[in-house]
Structures are given as C-alpha cells and as structure tokens.
C-alpha cells in the first residue's frame, strides 16, 4: 500500500502505526487552536481521525488494497485498549472520594442520570414523530427501518456503545445496518457537542473557577483512615495493580443479565468492558491496598494512561467513522442527532442547577457521566484543573449506562 503517489510505501502493521501517529500529531495541533478561550482539545484528534478515514477510504479499501479488514481490526484493538486505559485510570483517580461523594449525593446522581437519558429518549420519540410527518428519508421505506435509524442516532448522540449493541440485538436483522449508520452519523456531534458544552458553560456563566473547585473539594472530601506502616509495591509505577484492575474489570464487564424471558439467549444487559473496568478500579481505588500490598498506581502513571487512553480511543473510533460517514450521511439525520445531544444537555444542566442545587463542576461532571461521554470528561478535567470532577462522572455513568440501554429497547418495542 502506497501513500502520496507512492512516495511512502507502507504495509500491514507499519501502515496502522503510521495512521495512528499521524492523526495524533495533527489532531493535537488542531485541538490547541483557541478561539475566544474555547478549543477542541483532545476532540481535535477525533476530528482529524474522521477526516483521515474519509480521505483515505479508497487507499484502505480501494482496488488492490490488501489490508482493509486487518486495518479495521487493528483499530478495534486500539479503540478497546484506549477505553480500558482511560476508564480504569478514571476509576483509580475517583475511587478514594467516590463512595463518600455517592453517600452525600446518591439521589441527585441517580435522578440526574435518569433525567438526561429520559430527555434523550423523549427527543428520539419526537424525531420519530417528525419522520412520520415529513418523511423518513430517501434511503428508508418504512417505519421500522426509520425507528432503527433513530435508535442508532440516539446511541451515537449519547456516545453509548452498550445502547448501540442492545439496539442492534433488538431490531430485526434487516435493519441492523441502519442502527450502525445512525450511530456513526450522530456520534460525531455527540463527541464534539458535549466537549464544547463543558467549556462554554463556565465561560458563559463567568464562573470563578477557584471558588468552584473549592466547592467541589468540600463536597467530595471523604475521611478515610490511612494505613500505618510501609506498603509493598509490586512495581515502581503501579503497572501491575493497573493490569489487575483491567483484567478483573474485563471479566465483570462480560457478565450478562437477561432482560427478556428467553434468558441468555434473548436480550441481555452487561456493563461491557468499559463499565466493568470503571467499577473494579473504583472499588480498588477506594480501598487502595490488600493487606500490606499497595494496589494504587502512581499518580503520574494514572494521568499518563488517562490521556493516552483517551486519544487512542478517539483515533480507533474516529477513522472507521470517517470511512462510513460520507457514504451514509444525510443532513436530516445529522439534525436529528444534534437534537438528541443538545436537548439532554440543556435539560440535565437546568435540572442539576435549579432542582438538585449541584455546584457547577459537580453539575458538569455528572452531565458527562449522564451523557456517557468519555472525551468530555477528559476536556472537563482540563477546564476544571482537577481530577475530582471524575467522581461525579463515575457516580452518574452506571445509572445512565443502564437507562440508555433500556430506553433504546423501549423505543423499538413501542414504535
């Protein structure tokens, strides 16, 4: 396989690595461009990944290309590795304060997660109604196909892989491709929209970030007795402890809970690898040790893995999305996706601020969890200049994860 008219001959693994590092370099450069204090940040990597996939689609899958399927499989591995690195790091960072925070604000996080997902489901139902009035689109002939498209758009708007998987398992076989198309179309704004939202709100509200960080620390602080004595470290940086959490989390994420009468043969819910790793790392991060063995990775290790995991995830998800986007794009579906991202954001923010009385950073942290938006959490940590916002994300995320799966399936059954 040759790039740039044969100037750069690359094949197999070297081609994948070339793509990943090229996207990272250009994406980081784009993300640093700031307009009136707002920038794409790490989402710049996602934008460049999309463009890369669209521009080099023929190079990857065109006539004579030998490595297309291998290329996509390699990107799947990169995306999964990125997710594991990111969410496991987030769990470890949030763990020491997570349960104290949950004890104080449990009802608030549950309610907010439900409100956000219900708002997303209501917007999806409204889009289905609009489709019945104005038409389903040139590529869809019946309501069942349109509902499959809308549910795919909903999972993409909320960047929810579990909802995406559940929707594909619930619709009829002939409509699973429409779920995939809808997910891909809405995923773009689902990422970028929430990333911009968590940057714009503090600026529009002219928030005193020092004061907001103080409120966050005050709310999240949890007293815990320290260990008296010397802890044993398996390795200097905590790679072993991190790996343990990732292994256990992967197993937990594979546990299936039946949601239908058919049992494991029917529709099932699982935390997925993402949710499993988050849960396990939260628990290990909370206790921090097993006897005299230290199970808490070094802080610098966690920060590095969090950033590396996020950008690898964005590259792994972005390039395949760019490949499919051009062929399946329809302006009407893109508008529906924007509606399903913006409405839950606005409703969730207003509800958290005026009903639940959450502080700004707790509000935004919980919203990133309610929107199941991994990239937005990374951006919010940069905006807030504290990892403590991850505790609100981790508290709301599991509620939203379960709710969005159920709402997606409910929409398919209802319509």
Please give the Cα distance from 332 to 139 (Å, whole number).
Answer: 12
> Per CATH, which fold does 2-222+232-414 belong to?
Na+/H+ antiporter like fold (1.20.1530)
Residues of the chain where predicted confidence (pLDDT) is lower than 50? 4, 219-225
Q: What is the DSSP string of 357-371?
A: ---HHHHHHHHHHHT
- Tokens 């402890």 locate to 241
Contacts of residue 157, defined as CB under 8 A and 6 or more positions apart, other chains included, come to: 120, 186, 187, 189, 190, 337, 338, 340, 341, 344
Q: 38 pairs with which residues across the strands?
A: 35
Closest CA to 152 of 378, 330, 347: 330
Report the alpha-carbon distance of residue 247 to residue 88 in Å, rounded. Answer: 10
Tokens standing for 388? 């403590």
What CA dihedral angle connects 165, 167, 169 and 170, to 10 degrees?
160
Nearest to 88 by CA among 285, 298, 289, 372: 285
**CB of 17 closer than 8 Å to CB of 11:** no
pLDDT at residue number 183: 77
State the Cα–Cα distance between residues 203 and 190, nearest whole angstrom.
21
Q: What is the DSSP string of 380-404?
A: HHHHHTSTTHHHHHHHHHHHHHHHH
pTM of the complete model: 0.71
Distance CA 145, CA 139 (A): 9
Encode pLDDT of 237-263 as tens digits: 899 999 999 999 999 888 877 766 666
Domain ranges in the chain? 2-222+232-414
| Cβ pair 178, 145 in contact under 8 A | yes
Helix/strand/coil for 237: coil
Cα 344 to chain center, whole Å? 15
Give residue 108's pLDDT: 84
- Using DSSP's 3-state secondary structure scheme, residue 232 falls into strand
The mean predicted confidence, pLDDT, of the chain is 80
Task: Tell me the pLDDT tens digit for each residue of 199-251.
Answer: 899 888 888 888 888 887 554 444 444 555 678 888 888 999 999 999 999 99
């Amino acid at each position: 396989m040759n790039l740039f008219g044969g100037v750069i001959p690359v094949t197999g693994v070297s081609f994948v690595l070339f793509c990943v590092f090229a996207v990272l370099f250009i994406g980081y450069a784009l993300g640093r461009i700031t307009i009136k204090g707002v920038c794409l940040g790490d989402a710049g990597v996602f934008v460049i990944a999309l463009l890369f996939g669209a521009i080099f689609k023929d190079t990857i899958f065109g006539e004579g290309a030998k490595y297309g399927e291998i290329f996509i499989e390699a990107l799947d591995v990169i995306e999964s590795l990125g997710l594991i690195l990111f969410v496991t790091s987030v769990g470890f960072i949030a763990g020491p304060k997570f349960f104290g925070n949950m004890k104080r604000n449990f009802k608030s996080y549950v309610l907010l997660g439900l409100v956000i997902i219900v708002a997303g489901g209501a917007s999806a139902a409204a889009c289905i109604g609009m489709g019945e009035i104005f038409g389903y689109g040139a590529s869809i002939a019946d309501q069942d196909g349109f509902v499959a498209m809308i549910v795919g758009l909903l999972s993409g708007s909320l960047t929810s892989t579990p909802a995406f998987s559940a929707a594909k398992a619930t619709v009829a076989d002939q409509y699973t491709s429409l779920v995939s198309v809808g997910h891909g179309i809405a995923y773009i704004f689902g990422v970028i929209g929430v990333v911009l939202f968590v940057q714009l709100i503090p600026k529009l509200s002219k928030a005193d970030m020092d004061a907001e960080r103080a409120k966050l620390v005050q709310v999240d602080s949890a007293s815990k007795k320290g260990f008296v004595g010397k802890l044993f470290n398996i390795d200097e940086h905590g790679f072993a402890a991190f790996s343990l959490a990732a292994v256990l989390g992967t197993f937990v994420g594979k546990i299936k809970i039946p949601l239908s009468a058919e049992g494991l043969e029917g529709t099932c819910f699982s935390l997925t690898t993402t949710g499993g790793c988050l849960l396990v790392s939260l628990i290990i991060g909370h206790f921090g040790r097993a006897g005299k063995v230290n199970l808490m990775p070094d802080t610098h290790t966690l920060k590095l893995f969090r950033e590396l995991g996020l950008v690898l995830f964005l590259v792994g998800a972005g390039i395949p999305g760019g490949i499919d986007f051009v062929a399946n794009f329809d302006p009407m579906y893109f508008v529906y996706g924007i509606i399903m991202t913006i409405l839950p954001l606005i409703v969730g923010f207003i509800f958290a601020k005026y009903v639940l009385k959450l502080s700004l950073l707790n509000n935004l942290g919980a919203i990133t969890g309610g929107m199941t938006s991994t990239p937005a959490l990374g951006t919010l940590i940069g905006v807030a200049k504290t990892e403590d916002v991850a505790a609100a994300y981790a508290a709301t995320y599991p509620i939203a994860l379960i709710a969005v799966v159920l709402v997606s399936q409910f929409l398919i059954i209802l319509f």
